[in-house]
Amino acid sequence: MELKIALLPGDGIGPEVTEQAVKCLHAVEEAFNHHFVFTEAHAGAIAIDHTGDPLPEATLQVCKESKVVLFGAIGDPKYDNDPSAKVRPEQGLLKLRKELGLFTNIRPLKVYPSLVDRSPLRPEKVAGCDFTIYRELTGGIYFGKKTLSDDGTVASDLCEYSEKEIGRIAHMAFKAAKARNKKLTLIDKANVLETSRLWRKVVTRIGESYPEVALDFLFVDNAAMQMILNPKQFDVILTENMFGDIISDEASVIGGSIGLLASASVGDGHAMFEPIHGSFPEGAGKNIANPIASILSASMLLDHVGLAEEAATVRAAVDKAIEKNVVTPDLNPDGNYGTDQVGDFIAHSIVDIHEHISFNDENIEAGKSTII
C-alpha cells in the first residue's frame, strides 16, 4: 500500500518520540512491503519561532492533503511561564483538531501484565484493567469565547455544546461499547452544568438505539475517585473535552506511565494519531522519554487505514519490549534503555515477529489495545 502521512513532531520530546514511531513504520514498510510517504511540517512553538504562527497555512495544507497525520507534542515553558503571551503553541493543536474535524479522541488504556507492579495502585486493583476513553475534541470550554476585562481582573471561558456535537461522538462510543464489553459510562457534572444535562439527555436518547449496551452516569468528581478505587469497573467512558483531558492523564498512571498512552482522533474524514502526553520539556534532549505512546499511536494509524495485521505486529513488538523490560526510566529507573534503544528494539522486533508469527483474525483481535 502507498500511504501519505503528514508528520508533525512539534516541540520538546515530540521529535524524539515521533522519530521512534517513524522507525517502526519503516520496519512495517520493510516487513510488509508497503510504501509510506512522509511529509514533515512545523506545529507549535517551533512553528511560532519560524513563522509567528503555531499552525502555519502550509502545515494545515500538508495535513489536509495526507491521508493521516502523526503528531508528536507541542508546548514550551517560555509560553507556559508567560500568561500574557497572545500566541501560544497549544492554539495550533486546537486549531488543527478543529480544521480537520476531529471531534472524537479515542484513548485506550490497557495494563500490561509485566507492568502491574509499576502502577502506584495495588496489583489486584489494576491487573487486567482495559478500558477506552471517548473524549469529545472540538467543542466545549477549550473552544468557547474567552474574555478578559480591561483591568485584567475578571476572565471568562464559555462552555457550549450542541445536540449535534454530542450525538455524533455518542454514536461512536456506543458502537465501541457494543463491540467490547457492552458498558458505557458518561462522565459529566449534570448536578451543576447545563451542558452536562444536555449531554445526559442526548446520550440517554441515543442509548435507546443500543439496547445491548448498559449505560450509566458518573459525576466527574466521583469518577476521578472511582478511577483510583476500582478502575476495572470501566469499559467505554464517554465525556466532554476538558473532563476527558483530565481523566485520561489520571487514567494513564494506572498502567504505570503516561508514556504508554496513545490516541486516535477521528471525525469527518481526516484522522490524526498522537500520544496523550505533552512535550515534557524537562525530558527533552535527554533520551529518556518513553516512545511507546507514539509507537502505539502509529499502530492505531495502521488499524485506521485497514492494515490490521501490521498494527497487531507493532503491538506485539511493544508487548515484547515491555515483557523483556526494554523500557525507558519512567518504567524502570535502574534500566539501561533510552528512547532510541527502545525504538530500535521495537522496530527490529516488528521485522522479526513478522517473519515468525502469522496473525489470524483471532490473535489480531486478542491484541485489541487500540481503536475500540
Ligand X SMILES: NC(=O)C1=CN([C@@H]2O[C@H](COP(=O)(O)OP(=O)(O)OC[C@H]3O[C@@H](n4cnc5c(N)ncnc54)[C@H](O)[C@@H]3O)[C@@H](O)[C@H]2O)C=CC1
Hey, which residues are catalytic here? 142, 189, 221, 245, 249
Q: Does 276 bind ligand COI (CB under 6 A)?
A: yes
Q: Does 94 bind ligand COI (CB under 6 A)?
A: yes
273 three-state secondary structure: strand
- Asked whether residue 80 is marked as a ligand-binding residue, the answer is no
69 in Cβ contact with 100 (< 8 Å): yes
> Site residues (CB under 6 A) for ligand X?
13, 17, 73-76, 80, 90, 93, 257-259, 274, 277-282, 289-290, 293, 330
Buried b (16+ CB within 10 A) or exposed e, 39-52: bebbbbbbbbeeee
Q: Does 245 bind ligand COI (CB under 6 A)?
A: yes
Residue 207 contact, options Mg ion, ligand COI, ligand X, none, Cβ 5-8 Å cut-off depending on partner type: none
Cα 169 to Cα 137: distance, rounded to the nearest angstrom: 9
Name residue, grid cell 518504567: 331
Residue 17 contact, options ligand X, Mg ion, ligand COI, none, Cβ 5-8 Å cut-off depending on partner type: ligand X
State in angstroms the smallest separation of the CB of 321 from ligand X.
14
Cα 272 to Cα 304: distance, rounded to the nearest angstrom: 10
Cα 244 to Cα 222: distance, rounded to the nearest angstrom: 14
Q: Does 310 bind Mg ion (CB under 5 A)?
A: no
3-state class percentages of the chain: helix first, strand second, coil last, to nearest 5: 50, 20, 35
161 in Cβ contact with 103 (< 8 Å): no
The C-alpha cell at 268 is 469527518
Binding range to ligand COI, per CB under 6 A, among 7-15, 29-37, 88-96, 304-312: 88-96
- Asked whether residue 221 is marked as a ligand-binding residue, the answer is yes
Task: Give residues with Cβ within 8 angstroms of 356, minimum separation 6.
Answer: none
Half-sphere exposure of 309 (CA within 13 A, CB side): 14
State in angstroms the smallest separation of the CB of 13 from ligand COI.
14
- Asked whether residue 82 is marked as a ligand-binding residue, the answer is no
With CB atoms as reference, the residue minimizing the distance to ligand COI is 90
- Asked whether residue 361 is marked as a ligand-binding residue, the answer is no
Query: Among residues 110 and 277, whose Cβ is nearest to ligand COI?
Result: 277
Residue 289 contact, options Mg ion, ligand X, ligand COI, none, Cβ 5-8 Å cut-off depending on partner type: ligand X
69 in Cβ contact with 272 (< 8 Å): yes
Cα 262 to Cα 283: distance, rounded to the nearest angstrom: 18
187 in Cβ contact with 154 (< 8 Å): no
Query: Among residues 137 and 327, whose Cβ is nearest to ligand COI?
Result: 137
Q: Does 99 bind ligand COI (CB under 6 A)?
A: no
Name residue, grid cell 511561564: 81
Cα 348 to Cα 324: distance, rounded to the nearest angstrom: 14
Q: Does 80 bind ligand COI (CB under 6 A)?
A: no
Query: Among residues 185 and 339, whose Cβ is nearest to ligand X?
Result: 339
State in angstroms the smallest separation of the CB of 23 from ligand X.
15
The C-alpha cell at 120 is 502506584
27 in Cβ contact with 331 (< 8 Å): no
Tell which positions 239-258 bind Mg ion, by CB under 5 A.
Answer: 245
CA dihedral 90, 91, 93, 98 (to 10 degrees): 150
Residue 279 contact, options ligand COI, ligand X, Mg ion, none, Cβ 5-8 Å cut-off depending on partner type: ligand X
Query: Among residues 94 and 364, whose Cβ is nearest to ligand COI?
Result: 94
- Asked whether residue 97 is marked as a ligand-binding residue, the answer is yes
State in angstroms the smallest separation of the CB of 155 from ligand X.
18
State in angstroms the smallest separation of the CB of 163 from ligand X.
28
- Asked whether residue 76 is marked as a ligand-binding residue, the answer is no
Residue ranges for the binding site for substrate? 97, 107, 135, 221
Residue ranges for the binding site for Mg(2+)? 221, 245, 249
Q: Which residues bind Mg ion (CB under 5 A)?
A: 245
Q: Which residues bind ligand COI (CB under 6 A)?
A: 90, 93-94, 245, 276
